[in-house]
Chains A and B, each alone.
Chain A
Amino acid sequence: MGLAKRIIPCLDVDEGRVVKGVQFVDIRDAGDPVEVARRYDRQGADEITFLDITASSDRRDTIAYVVEKVASEVFIPLTVGGGIRQLEDIYRLLNVGADKVSINTTAVNNPDFIDQASGHFGNQCIVVAIDAKQIDDSPRWEIYTHGGRNPTGLDAIEWAKQMVDRGAGELLVTSMDRDGTKGGFDLELMQRITSAVSVPVIASGGVGDLDHLADGVLKGGADAVLAASIFHFGEYTIEQAKQHMASKQIEMRL
């Protein structure tokens, strides 16, 4: 049908450095974000996502600087998430070169914000990030905020639908149970969300090898797959990942 599935490396950025935690703790340093982004662009990344996890208040200046540097030499779509609370934050990030913003906690605290943001900037640049955790062994998942610390009581599938109705142009779905474990995506969660909504879904959380990426598309129904550590620490290149997915008959940009 033409449209390629996407591979999106994700850079968790803390005070201007790329880091990667296992289940949201145990941070390892993975380098300078501009260098890392440049490398992924050369390897054929389809997009790059930056997630700003800086806790301090000067976060916005740091991430804006990183995005601006990257956007002046890397000409693929860039998504930025973390700490977006008002329309002005979005305007500012788009203005330094982001193409999309990813919104998580603010969407939960104030769902109307998604209506406002998509009304203002268009739904093509509003990604809603959903961090979900399975409730015991039931086929139900609950939404968490604040990097996985705060449960909300919201059902993940219902929440996904609501966010799309309000104007999300894409969903970034992370399984909190899998993130950092290298055990593969939560395919049941992905499948349930991809079949419930009409917008593209990015699968995230748990990639440990190249089969996991392919499964996200073939079994989870995802339109794009996101991974961090398998690329950061040189286990695989993006190019290898694309070749592997293409060998499984997935349409890729090679």
Chain B
Amino acid sequence: MKERVVIVNLGTGNLRSVYRAFEFAEGKGDVTISADPEIIRNADKLVLPGQGAIGTWMGQLQRDTRLKGAVLERLNHGPVLGICLGLQALLDQSEENGGQQGLGLIPGKVRHFGSAHQSAGLGEHGLKIPHMGWNKVRQKVDHPLWHDIQDDERFYFVHSYYAEAADQSTVVGESTFGNTFTCAVARNNLFATQFHPEKSQQAGLQLIKNFIHWNGVQ
């Protein structure tokens, strides 16, 4: 039986790309983009994507209490893949948009590269922000979602804010851009990436396949 993959629609970012990559990875699968609480509750696999400003993204979630309830409930059990803002939103808070509360499922905060580079004295050396392009991902632990993906494989990134996880046990992937930062987190049934698997060619499609076959146990 096909897994029911549901991509949560919070109205930001390029959801079609995520949708197409899942369809391609799964063959002719059962992939839906939805903001319907019932469909989200019943998803076998839930995908939480997002691009753009986290304030807009969280605002969409806060505005619709039924949707928020369904997403929070679903985040507690069953495989979840967060992408980009879908990773950042799992943390406690973000510096973006003048300070933004997150969902608090992964301890830590989200910081801007500019402030980190400045305090490290890197600002003047011209690291260009957004961090845009293909960077290496170091796998910190074995995880079913890294199956058949080489350590230090390159994935596509595009972001100006990054996660700073407070609990090292949640860090499953790291990259370096001026400073070393957390680019993948996992905890129980949650796995989230700062990079975009849907735009990372073979390696990205492999990660998506791994997610489709994942039972949600680390």
Contacts and interface: CB of A to CB of B under 8 A. Distances in A.
Interface stretch (A106-114, A117-125, A133-141): A117-125
A124 B133 contact: no
B20 A4 contact: no
A12 interface: no
B70 to A, nearest CB: 24
B53 interface: yes
A97 B14 contact: yes
Contacts of B156: 76-77
Q: B51, B128, B129 — which one has the most chain A CB atoms within 10 A of its CB?
A: B128
B58 to A, nearest CB: 14
Contacts of B14: 94, 97-99, 125
Band of interface residues on B: 35 or more
Contacts of B126: 194-195, 198, 221
Interface in B99-137: 126-136
B23 to A, nearest CB: 8
Interface residues of A, number: 37
A4 B175 CA distance: 12
B201 interface: yes
Given A1-B176, A99-B14, A123-B130, A75 B136 contact: no
B130 A75 contact: no
A95 B133 CA distance: 21
A14 interface: no
A95 B23 CA distance: 16
A103 B176 CA distance: 30
B145 interface: no
A150 interface: no
A95 B128 CA distance: 27
Interface in B130-189: 130-136, 154, 156-160, 175-178
Nearest to A44: B201
B205 interface: yes
A96 B17 CA distance: 8
B52 interface: yes
A225 B133 CA distance: 12
A3 B177 contact: yes
Contact of A72 (B20, B52, B154, B201): B20
B134 A71 contact: no
B134 A3 contact: yes
A208 B131 CA distance: 29
A124 B132 contact: yes
Contacts of B51: 122, 124-125
9 A-B pairs closest in CB distance: A122-B52, A253-B134, A2-B176, A200-B128, A124-B158, A4-B134, A253-B154, A3-B135, A2-B135
Given A5-B133, A224-B133, 15 more contacts: A2-B175, A3-B133, A3-B135, A6-B133, A6-B134, A71-B17, A75-B199, A75-B204, A94-B14, A96-B16, A99-B14, A121-B52, A124-B158, A170-B132, A198-B126
24 contacts: A2-B176, A3-B131, A3-B133, A3-B135, A3-B157, A4-B134, A46-B133, A72-B20, A73-B24, A75-B200, A76-B156, A94-B14, A97-B20, A122-B13, A124-B130, A124-B158, A124-B159, A125-B14, A194-B126, A200-B133, A221-B126, A223-B133, A253-B134, A253-B154
Interface of A: 1-6, 41, 46, 71-73, 75-77, 94-99, 121-125, 169-170, 194-195, 198-201, 221, 223-224, 253
